[in-house]
Structure 1
């Protein structure tokens, strides 16, 4: 029932279009602009994934509309992306193109469930070096995946993009590579120079048109996209029998995790660079989940939020969901009206577009910032990037988080400590038999043993005061260690006083037995001065007791307890 109520709260409402009467003209212009930019990317990502150009175009149309209507961002533009291509390619290569619809629906259901369970904010737990390393790794894979098409060869047999690229280059002949390589160079030249003429020129579309016309006029021997459907296919629910579910469960979980991460990161970045209001992370997951499910029904790919197209939307003046909807409708018009010219686009031209896109995914400023931050963050960045390229995207994120957590834990341990302090104020006789220890930072499982060893090793004292007012973090292990410290010192005849237990730690310390381990309930203090005064009274009684034991009958006139200091 709670999940159902949560789902109703995440549905679209009239407030999504409150600004539309004021912004609709700008939204329409932005939508057309984004559609022009998205067309070559949708085709290229579809081809690169192995699903085909038609699948990329269908995804941009179907998922673009669904995510725009149901998503949690007013300006997010969704569709096929480079990160999804990287993880989807091996799935299609292993399970065949027939698995595309099933894995899209399965991944979409997982993302949808994550939204209903309100797991959207978990993406904020990703460390920045992990995100940057992940992005660089994806960019490298996308670039390497284009090598075969760029040189007119077939892909290598390896599932690793770097190895496959080397294998493809090993089979390249100069004669077959000349034409596609020339088209790639032409596309790169146009995409690099066009923005310098005017930043709003749709460089990728112009590059595709020029390359396609050149290949057609010169009759270059290059592979082309081929026939495309002239309408959207009818929706079909894929077969999800137990065998299919078992075989695709792992890939679907990986795709879902990637879709959630990329979409939420894109929405968060978009919210930070625009004035269109915050985004709803849980609703964004709901929208992206529905988009992938719908895309799978029509034979498309899993969809995610696309930061590049979203940024174009923002720069072009998009302010409401109408812009993203318009972008999808423009691509739908291409499906019905322009499949003939699109089918003649050379694959080498699409490879050139993706090579430039991959290069632009890497921000030199961000690289300098993360590498120049701390040695730990630099290690996390490089580990994540290398594992992304060498092994698996989700494993890279998991290992990157693990490495970042290790360094964070080490830093927390180093910031935690126990320090012996001098007694404030004038020195009294016997103060040398009082030790004050201040616990700082965090006392938890990773730092507890060091504190135990330091305090328990104290010698030649009668009273130990443990100050806890500066202790920020305490777990059960840390509380247990305090109990062990008290017990160990008391067994040696050393009285332990505890000062400054914070209210938030009191319940844990009580449950673990710290208060019960004290010799007397009066050994708990809120201020240091009374604790020191109490400690001095113990030291005085202890000194008297030692003198009695040493001199015997000579001190009979002033008897003192011989069983050690007490508060009774």
Structure 2
């Protein structure tokens, strides 16, 4: 009977745990009041997302159809299953940067399998409740990463903007330079004119009215102009007129092994970008000035993981939360998940009803949109703020941006975090130290033979050596009191260094007393030999007063021993008492 009850309780616990990742009626609690704004916001976001989805698909090398399918499938799944009410998901510029070299190495057909693998990893990260980990990424790393992505996206568009084709797998900057040097007239003049016209419209339209769908209008005008004038420029090409049937991508053990590393990299990138987007969106004010409220980071990861899995089954690419589209959704009045669903439904309608029209869009028009998008990814105010903040933050920002452009996105985050950790540890080490203090109270004879040291901050591997050297440099004393009550952190390296300090002083016949070791440090100090290094177990004190009295008594007894030795004629060379 008891076993059955326990099993029921276990199932109830598991169901409650999984229930936190599933849709709930609360997801649509305010829909009765917000549905009109949600529909309008969804239409607005869908209009903006259409050219971006096409452009990201083309730029990644997978094709415009894959970008559109991803925006539809992943956008709908993430809207229902994600942890944010206003997040809009789909293909993004950061993902394009990672996918392009993978497509060059393994072909476009591998991306669907890659999306499925990365989606499973993101799903597991969410189930393990690792959604809060994004809070540990420093702001300069995020902004440097974003700046690097913007630079790469801009450079990736140069071949499209010049009417040339880039060699797959080539470094982005090198491909851009080759495109410029190999461009031919009059094609390059025509494509650059399209890019300039699109960019000009994207810059000027918001000044007329912020609600104008500038990207869609720019694409329509560029396409109409290209058709009427009969311009010989590269186009998107044929698109499917319906969604493909879901199927498991072809795979082999060798291919799975080759894609394992990229899948982890994409999963990490998708998790970071989605969580950052959701976090930013939670604080964005809508048209009424109200923010959208909190989000569920762990559920956001599981939702994004399921979205990428579904996109892979339909032949799409990995998806993430898109901050630009999410921001438009919030500012356009979107308050519930219905807005993101409407956005996906609008794009689905394009697949079934407008594929033929979309296929005629000039690639240069999409390049113009992405070039403007790239330049807006990091504001000048943000860059100026970071560069003026501190040398460490400025260096962190620049290093992350440069590594992102020159090497790899994931390497940029890894190195950025390592550099941030180095600067953080250096700051903690600088705030940690040891200070010699005067003996409190009225002075006594022999106090000059007592050294009172106060250890502050953190005794860890970054500061232990310097603290050790400062204490060991003491001269002409008989007793050293180490005040440890202000020591906030103690690691194994710091504890070992403390034990070495005590042993070194005791070898010099200097008695060491420790005062105020914190309760949470006792076990560590005991296990690495700090307490064992003391001459006597009574040399550990909880209060400073008794420690000072013991030190003074020790000095007095040492003085008496020296006087007695002098009277005997042995020079007073007396070894310290083992029981002291």
**Superposition TM-score tier, normalisation by shorter sequence:** over 0.9
Q: 2: distance between equivalents of 1:338 and 1:498? A: 79
Residue correspondences, number: 564
- Asked whether the 8 Å contact 1:132–1:381 carries over to 2, the reply is yes
Cross-structure match for 1:313: 329
TM-score (norm 1): 0.96
Paired residue for 2:416, among 400, 419, 424?
A: 400
- Asked whether the 8 Å contact 1:26–1:318 carries over to 2, the reply is yes
Partner SS for 1:498: strand
Q: 1: distance between equivalents of 2:213 and 2:131? A: 33
Runs of 5+ in structure 2 lacking a partner?
Answer: 1-9, 286-290
Paired residue for 1:391, among 390, 401, 407?
A: 407
- Asked whether the 8 Å contact 1:133–1:383 carries over to 2, the reply is yes
What do residues 235-259 of structure 1 show as CA deviations (whole Å, max 9, x unaligned)? 1111232122012112111111111
Q: 1: distance between equivalents of 2:506 and 2:53? A: 73
- Asked whether the 8 Å contact 2:281–2:292 carries over to 1, the reply is no
Cross-structure match for 1:344: 360
Q: 1: distance between equivalents of 2:75 and 2:118? A: 17
Alignment of 1:529-540 (within 5 A): 529-540=545-556
Which deviates more from structure 2 when the two are superposed, residues 322-331 or residues 249-258? Answer: 249-258
What do residues 150-207 of structure 1 show as CA deviations (whole Å, max 9, x unaligned)? 1111114552111110011111113120111101010011000000001111111111
Kindly state the Cα deviation for residue 5 of structure 1 after the two structures are TM-superposed: 6.4
Partner SS for 2:389: coil
Kindly state the Cα deviation for residue 125 of structure 1 after the two structures are TM-superposed: 1.4
Q: 1: distance between equivalents of 2:35 and 2:51? A: 25
Q: 1: distance between equivalents of 2:574 and 2:181? A: 91
Kindly state the Cα deviation for residue 511 of structure 1 after the two structures are TM-superposed: 2.1
The answer on 1:177 being equivalent to 2:193 is: no
- Asked whether the 8 Å contact 1:129–1:380 carries over to 2, the reply is yes
Cross-structure match for 1:226: 237
Q: 1: distance between equivalents of 2:570 and 2:123? A: 86
Q: 2: distance between equivalents of 1:185 and 1:451? A: 62
Alignment of 1:168-567 (within 5 A): 168-274=179-285, 275-552=291-568, 563-565=575-577
- Asked whether the 8 Å contact 2:283–2:293 carries over to 1, the reply is no
Cross-structure match for 1:166: 177
What do residues 119-169 of structure 1 show as CA deviations (whole Å, max 9, x unaligned)? 211111111111111100000000000001111111145521111100111
Cross-structure match for 2:62: 51
Distance change >3 Å, CA 554–CA 410, structure 1 → 2: closer
Q: 1: distance between equivalents of 2:202 and 2:65? A: 24
Cross-structure match for 2:42: 31
Runs of 5+ in structure 1 lacking a partner?
Answer: none
Q: 1: distance between equivalents of 2:546 and 2:220? A: 84
Q: 2: distance between equivalents of 1:189 and 1:113? A: 44
Which deviates more from structure 2 when the two are superposed, residues 141-150 or residues 165-174? Answer: 165-174
- Asked whether the 8 Å contact 1:187–1:352 carries over to 2, the reply is yes
- Asked whether the 8 Å contact 1:64–1:77 carries over to 2, the reply is yes
Cross-structure match for 2:76: 65
Partner SS for 2:445: coil
- Asked whether the 8 Å contact 1:158–1:164 carries over to 2, the reply is no
Which deviates more from structure 2 when the two are superposed, residues 514-523 or residues 159-168? Answer: 514-523
Q: 1: distance between equivalents of 2:368 and 2:569? A: 102
Distance change >3 Å, CA 511–CA 392, structure 1 → 2: same
Q: 2: distance between equivalents of 1:546 and 1:86? A: 78
Q: 2: distance between equivalents of 1:309 and 1:553? A: 92
- Asked whether the 8 Å contact 1:75–1:324 carries over to 2, the reply is yes
- Asked whether the 8 Å contact 2:195–2:367 carries over to 1, the reply is yes
Paired residue for 1:90, among 95, 101, 117?
A: 101
- Asked whether the 8 Å contact 1:45–1:56 carries over to 2, the reply is yes
- Asked whether the 8 Å contact 1:542–1:565 carries over to 2, the reply is no
Partner SS for 1:268: helix
Cross-structure match for 2:5: none
Which deviates more from structure 2 when the two are superposed, residues 302-311 or residues 403-412? Answer: 403-412
TM-score (norm 2): 0.94
Q: 2: distance between equivalents of 1:156 and 1:239? A: 26
Kindly state the Cα deviation for residue 385 of structure 1 after the two structures are TM-superposed: 0.7
Kindly state the Cα deviation for residue 563 of structure 1 after the two structures are TM-superposed: 4.6
Q: Point out 4+ residue stretches in structure 1 off by more than 3 angstroms.
A: 1-8, 560-563, 565-568
Distance change >3 Å, CA 3–CA 114, structure 1 → 2: farther
What do residues 348-385 of structure 1 show as CA deviations (whole Å, max 9, x unaligned)? 00000000000110211111111111111111111111
What do residues 283-339 of structure 1 show as CA deviations (whole Å, max 9, x unaligned)? 111111110110011111110000000000110111111111111011111111111
How large is the Cα RMSD of the aligned pairs? 1.9
What do residues 259-304 of structure 1 show as CA deviations (whole Å, max 9, x unaligned)? 1111111111111224222111111111111101100111111100
Q: 2: distance between equivalents of 1:238 and 1:221? A: 36
